[in-house]
Structure 1
Amino acid sequence: MAAEGQSELVQVVALLGAGVVAVPIFRRLGLGSVLGYFAAGLVIGPFGLGLFSDPGAILHVAEFGVIMLLFVIGLEMQPSRLWALRREIFGLGVAQVVASGALLTLAGYAAGLNLAVAFVAGMGFVLSSTAVVMQMLDERGETSTAQGQKAVSILLLEDLAIVPLLAIVAFVAPADSGENAADRWREIAIAIVAVAGLVLAGRYLLNPMFRILARSQAREVMTAAALLVVLGAALLMELGGLSMAMGAFLAGVLLSESTFRHQLEADIEPFRGILLGLFFLAVGMSLDLAAISVHWPTILAFTALFIAVKAAAIFGVARLLGASSRESIDRVALFAQGGEFAFVLYSAASAVGIMDASTNAIFTSVVILSMALTPLTALALKRLMPHSAPSLDGVDQADGLSGEVLVIGFGRFAQVASQSLLARGFEVSIIENDVEMIEAAATFGFKVYYGDGTRLDTLRASGAGQARAVLVCVDKREAAEKIVELVQSEFPLAKLFVRAFDRGHAMDLVRAGVDYHIRETFESAMAFGEAALVALGVPEEEAAEIADDVRRRDSERFALQVAGDIHSGSSLIRGNAPIPTPLTRPRRAGQIVDQGEPQPEAS
């Protein structure tokens, strides 16, 4: 008994250790966490170190990670938002699923499969991996972008498609599978009742239940209730013969406008993350290398065929619906793989006799292999695809400008900094290389021109030669340093004001000899701290004195750090500008005002 418990503990430690070791390495290599989990699962699985003999059992448990992922997505999808995405979901989503399914079915039939098997194999491959796509979108920070929302819409439609697909599988099952038409209609009726029951429970029972539990002030009970809702909805859908993930998604949508939405998301998030990682590990373990070694020509051929056919369908649909070539290729990189719902569909097909065990194993391996290749495919396309030039429709390029002040970059920092100049009546020219930012600024009455401040020709066209002051407000350190170098070399009469990223960047700007610099967070943080002192009962005058003393000491430390670097012959030194002190400042030395987060004092 003790030995059995010890063995289970070894497996738990192996699962956690594999993820903890592999994921940071793969992310560091730029390959993404999904591929890291796949590789780790393969290493510790039955075809690697052999620490697990039944990855299917782990995969069954880990599917709850996908279920919780769909619940969290549902929480973000208020009915009004779903209605706003109706064209993407039922237009783009349906078009992609139908086109991909039809072409994959034809491809499978042409490759020698009978029509029923070709349909099931192809439609299973149509259902892209929600877990893989959402993880990649999240890592790239694109979930809330317009393109990310289109991807989410397609995923939602694909998740919903599992319901009619399972019904179709039941209808096309061989006659001797043990089910008659009456049984199938009864299953459909049960499914409808299950969905209706879930909607009614979500509409009338869940919010009152959470209000009662919230009054108990027991945090652990709220967490248990959140898990109960997710797993209960999944169980209800499973009893109705439908997708557990769809049940979790519906529960999330029904709670999306609840006052408890954010608390529910916070309670579910840790379980979602761990179980989703476990799901990817289990998929890696499930890659049957023995089956691949026997059927590898067939598996590789179908993997290449299905990926190519689905990619062509996705690209064609995207282009027909107005997407650019780059956007279409990016969508191909995200969706040209099978997904976890294929396992559900293939299992259902095997249960009713459409697929035999060998065919199921082959196409399961095809799906897993395609999922493992997705991060690599996306990475390769990202590196091989040239950067697309932004569309300048309706945007004026910087040419022939002649303002007294040239502002380079128009993010949040510059938007605030420029207001005083505009209020005083100075003629200000503003350039920015982010087209979306330019368009957004125009809605608030700002005239911003398109231009890359790191290019000398752009600076000339923007009027840097006539400007009395150049304000460098870009948010990238390397770009700011390049602009400083160009302005000092080509336009030495213009006063140079620079936004510094942090203390180290500020020290570099001092050495470069700019007229003025300020760390982007320093003064706001000082005001924040001073307001906190006042709120805590410190008299306003005393709080101001304390803040001034902090500024003075920071300025002195900063001067000592810069002087110490120069006297030690630091390789970071640029130019021979004199080092300012709090009392003296040469004409082009950096004024010591600010910057940032607390740093260790230089010795």
Structure 2
Amino acid sequence: MPRYAAAQPDAGQGSDFQAVHAATLHLREVIIFLLAAGIIVPLFRRVKISPILGFLIVGMVIGPYGLASFVDVAPWLRHAVIDDVEFVNALAEMGVIFLLFMIGLELSLERLWAMRRLVFGLGGAQVLVTAAVITAIAAMFDNTLPMAVILGAGFALSSTAIVMQLLSEQRRLGTEVGRTSFSILLFQDLAVLPILFMVSAFAARGEDSPVIAFAIAMGQAAAAVVVVLVLGRLLLRPLFRFVGAADSRELFLALVLLVIIGTAMAMESAGLSAALGAFVAGLLMAETEYRHEVELDIEPFKGLLLGVFFVSVGMEIDLTEVLARPVLLGVSVIGLFVIKAPIIYGLGRAFGQSRPVAAESAVLLSQGGEFALLVVSMAFALGLMDGPTAQFMLIVTSLTMMATPMQAHFGRRLGGALEARGAERQRPAAASPPSDLKGHVVIAGYGRVGQMLAAILEEQEMAHYAIDNDAHLLARSRRGRDHVFFGDASRPDMLRRLGADRATALVVTINSPQAAERIVAAARREWPGLSIHARAHDNEHARRLRDLGADRVVPETVEASLQLADAVLISSGLPGATAHRIIEAHRASLEESGELDEEAAEEVREKL
């Protein structure tokens, strides 16, 4: 047993004892969280449940409204719950800070300026329109004007932490949905500062006007941002060069943490959002040559601290309150989705986004966010919102955030369905080559390989027709071309429409191995004399295609290896003609044998 727990402290030792006791409590809470992150959440992942949802559920269970409410009945539960919510919230804020830093690190000022139409246009319109609509609805329920405006502004924001984490897990940040969602979220993050100042202005006492207080605060904030940007550009590179010269990874990481936390604290001291400060720090780091090393070093911190954030959101949900007013809460949660999703969809379409992208982004961003929790809590602390209303709004926000992983799944399916419907409408009209055409080439598959082959045939003015079942690909490829058609090449009647019975050759370049085998089998069965060439993924696939009747098969791995060997021979000093002759000899040998056996592979290595 620790010494401080074995004896009662005297009056002079009281403060020291309390400090040690508090530190012990925090250590216990950290251990509980690490157990959840290392054991419980991976179990959710194994059953294909989002880790975010896992952290949220863990927060509900171990929080003050979960198992902690049964401590009086079962005292042993005290060791499995977290009751110091303030400590968890402090760590959770660090998670949001690191997330915003990583977002800034991936952007750079140049990229932000390049995205200005979506960020400031679409994002700005979303915040303003959504805030106006929710404010009007809140005013209809007899809320005061300041409270209605605060609710409208707070609920106009979505969850940057959850949405960005979901998109990152799915590796979709670079897609149209990812870029659109990120642009809206980025403007929302930039809007947090004015919203917080607005709340402070509503609560101002003794000021001539809340508008004047708001304008003064915004001017101070803008000045602070400019100062940080200027100082950062002047000091960051010299600092990192100095630390880099020490060749110490620990010192480098310490400097990175100092930049992130120091900038966040500086911004907060100036009255700005700490998260905005971290975002500015990320933008500055993105301009340096150290950005990739910084990203690798910070990633584990971001992941763990974001986990704490999601746990803290789960801890905000009072299940007894939910059970006491299930209908009202349910209607409010669904109502928020119903209000925000159509607004985001309509604005997305107005700014040129396709139906699938606008629909998925609308569903993905229709929840409340972490900054809504902050805005409501601040309004309550300043006396602008009564306790029951604040608690109700916090629970609604937390429930919508908890539903986000399921929303994301539904949104992706909705986007896919709309994309499929659009593809169906865009299918190229059925057509056929002239009935008297002979000696042409039929290409089954119009992906990268098929398009390259078609380009070579066009250069040689050789007649050819291609077929593929990817409607979107064909819709793009048919612009200016009339030799590409939609259809299933494994159906003999479709190949016959393209004149396969009169063609010089059928070339199968389709990416799917199973589809390629079906096409080769069907074509050989219908036209025994047709010359069939096929692309194979590997030697085993090539062997199957030959067995099904292909005359010549080119395995991707073999051809890639031969071209790589050719480049290596030339770079090693062999004349180009000599290297080409060596490679051609091996190519002929491999074509004759039909496979790349161990002896051939060893011979290639000896030649190299």
- TM-score bracket, normalised by the shorter chain, equals 0.7 to 0.9
Matching residue within 471, 493, 496 for 2:507: 471
Displacement after TM superposition at 1:131 (Å): 2.1
Asked if the contact 1:18/1:44 (under 8 Å) is kept, the reply is: no
Tell me how far apart the structure 1 counterparts of residues 505 and 563 of structure 2 sit (CA, whole Å).
27
1:425 Cα offset (Å): 6.0
Please report how far the alpha carbon of residue 168 of structure 1 lies from its aligned counterpart in structure 2 after TM superposition: 0.9
| Structure 1 runs not aligned, ≥5 long | 556-581, 585-590, 599-603
Task: Report the CA distance between 1:242 and its aligned residue.
Answer: 1.7
1:592 maps to a residue whose letter is: E
Q: Distance in 2 between matches of 1:284 and 1:473?
A: 51
Q: 1:301 Cα deviation (Å)? A: 2.4
Matched, 1:292 2:360: no
User: How far apart are 1:391 and its partner, in Å?
Assistant: 8.4
Q: Name the residue aligned to 1:408.
A: 444
Matched, 1:592 2:595: yes
Question: Mind listing any 5+ residue stretches in structure 2 that lack a counterpart?
Answer: 6-23, 68-76, 602-608
Aligned residues: CA RMSD:
4.1
Separation in 2, partners of 1:142, 1:200: 33
From 24, 43, 57, the equivalent of 1:39 is 57
Deviates more, 1:524-533 or 1:402-411: 524-533
Residues 537 and 556, structure 2, Cα contact 8 Å, conserved in 1: yes
The verdict on how the C-alpha distance between 1:483 and 1:121 changes in structure 2, with shifts beyond 3 A counting, is farther
AA partner of residue 484 (structure 2): Y
Partner of 1:154: 184
What is the alpha-carbon distance in structure 2 between the residues aligned to residue 482 and residue 364 of structure 1?
57
Measured in 2, the distance between the counterparts of 1:52 and 1:498 equals 63
The more displaced of 388-397 and 36-45 is 388-397
How many Å separate the matches in 2 of 1:339 and 1:263?
Answer: 30
Taking a change above 3 Å as real, the CA distance of residues 236 and 262 of structure 1, as seen in their structure-2 partners, is: same
Match of 1:389 among 417, 422, 425: 422
TM-score for the superposition, normalised by structure 2: 0.78
CA contact (8 A) 1:410 1:432 kept: yes
Q: Which amino acid aligns with 1:254?
A: L
Task: Tell me the alpha carbon deviations over residues 166-213 of structure 1, each in whole angstroms, 9 at most, x when there is no partner.
Answer: 111111127499x99997776545433421221112221112222222
Partner of residue 12, structure 2: none
Q: Is the 8 A contact 1:396 1:449 kept in 2?
A: no
- Measure the CA separation in 2 of the matches of 1:426 and 1:594: 36
2:98 is matched with 68
Tell me whether 369-378 or 513-522 shows the greater mean CA deviation: 513-522
CA contact (8 A) 2:63 2:82 kept: yes
**Do the aligned residues in 1 keep the contact of 2:131 with 2:156 (CA within 8 Å)?**
yes
Aligned to 2:247: 217
The one-character-per-residue Cα deviations of 1:441-481 (angstroms, maximum 9, x if unpaired) are 799x9987252445636544444343333222232344434
> In structure 2, what is the Cα distance between the partners aligned to 1:550 and 1:405?
24
The reply to whether residue 11 of structure 1 matches residue 32 of structure 2 is yes
User: How far apart, in 2, do the equivalents of 1:346 and 1:209 lie?
Assistant: 39
Matched, 1:168 2:198: yes
CA gap 1:396/1:98 in 2 versus in 1, 3 angstroms:
same
Shift of 1:271: 2.2
Could you tell me whether the CA contact under 8 Å between 2:41 and 2:55 is conserved in 1? no
Give CA deviations for 1:206-238 in whole Å, capped at 9, x if unaligned. Answer: 122222223332233222222222222221222
Cα distance change on mapping 1:474 and 1:332 into 2, 3 Å: same
Alignment match, 1:577: none
Out of 323, 337, 360, the position equivalent to 1:307 is 337
Change over 3 Å in CA distance of 1:37–1:333 after alignment to 2: same
Q: Deviations over 1:330-360 (max 9, x none)?
A: 1221111111111221222122111233322
Equivalent-residue separation in structure 2 for 1:82 and 1:510 (angstroms): 53
Please state how far the C-alpha of 1:370 moved relative to its aligned partner: 0.8
Counterparts in 2 of 1:515 and 1:263: CA distance versus 1, 3 Å: same
Higher mean Cα deviation, 118-127 or 361-370?
A: 118-127
Q: Alpha carbons of 1:542 and 1:326: their partners in 2 closer, same or farther (altered >3 Å)?
A: closer
Quick one: which of 449, 462, 471 aligns to 2:484? 449
Structure showing greater radius of gyration is 2
Q: Trace 1:499-518 onto structure 2 (pairs within 5 A).
A: 499-502=535-538, 505-506=541-542, 508-509=544-545, 512-518=548-554
Structure 1 window deviating more from structure 2 (165-174 vs 188-197): it is 188-197
Structure 2: distance between partners of 1:57 and 1:536: 62
How many angstroms apart in 1 are the aligned matches of 2:552 and 2:230? 63
How far apart, CA to CA, are the structure 2 residues paired with 1:111 and 1:452?
57
Which amino acid in structure 2 is aligned with residue 451 of structure 1? Answer: F
> What is residue 289 of structure 2 aligned with on the other side?
259
1:310 and 1:336 in contact (8 A); partners too: yes
Residue 337 of structure 1 corresponds to 367
Alignment deviations for residues 381-440 of structure 1 (CA, whole Å, 9 cap, x no partner): 444635233388797876427673222334444455667666666444334455665687
Aligned length: 557
Q: Tell me the amino acid that sits aligned with residue 254 of structure 2.
A: A
Q: How much has 1:158 moved relative to structure 2?
A: 0.8
SS across alignment from 1:53: coil
Task: Pick closer, same or farther for the CA change 1:528–1:282 going to 2, 3 Å.
Answer: farther
**AA paired with 1:388?**
R
CA distance in 2 between counterparts of 1:43 and 1:550 reads: 64
3-state DSSP of counterpart to 2:129: helix
Closer, same or farther: CA 536–440 of 1 in aligned 2, 3 Å? farther
- 3-state SS of paired residue (1:407): strand
Q: CA deviation at 1:72?
A: 2.3
1:558 equivalent in structure 2: none
Q: Is the 8 A contact 1:288 1:365 kept in 2?
A: yes
Within 5 Å, which residues of 2 pair with 1:398-547? 399-400=432-433, 404-414=440-450, 426-434=462-470, 449-454=484-489, 456=491, 458-502=494-538, 505-506=541-542, 508-509=544-545, 512-525=548-561, 528=564
Offset, 1:593: 4.9
Aligned to 1:106: 136
Superposed CA offset, 1:498-548 (max 9, x none): 333456655654554433444433432465478679989999999999999
Q: 1 CA distance for matches of 2:552 and 2:40? A: 48
The alpha-carbon distance between structure 1 residues 250 and 7, as it changes in their structure 2 partners (threshold 3 A), is: closer
CA contact (8 A) 2:337 2:366 kept: yes
Would you say 1:118 and 2:151 are equivalent positions? no
Q: Distance in 2 between matches of 1:519 and 1:208?
A: 52
Q: Compare the two structures and name the one with the higher helix fraction.
A: 2
CA distance in 2, matches of 1:265, 1:303: 36
CA 1:470–1:269 in 2, change beyond 3 Å: closer, same or farther?
Answer: farther
Alignment of 1:338-357 (within 5 A): 338-357=368-387
Q: Are 1:233 and 1:248, in contact at CA under 8 Å, matched by a contact in 2?
A: yes
> Which of 38, 45, 62 is 1:24 aligned to?
45
Seq. identity, %: 34
Alignment correspondent of 2:401: 371
Contact 1:395 1:450 survives alignment (8 Å): yes
Structure 1 length-normalised TM: 0.78
Closer, same or farther: CA 331–489 of 1 in aligned 2, 3 Å: farther
Match of 2:88 in 1: 58
Measured at CA, do residues 545 and 381 of structure 1 come closer, stay the same or move farther in structure 2, by a change above 3 Å?
Answer: same
1:252 is aligned with what amino acid?
G
The residue number in structure 2 matching 1:567 is none
- Residues 392 and 435, structure 1, Cα contact 8 Å, conserved in 2: no
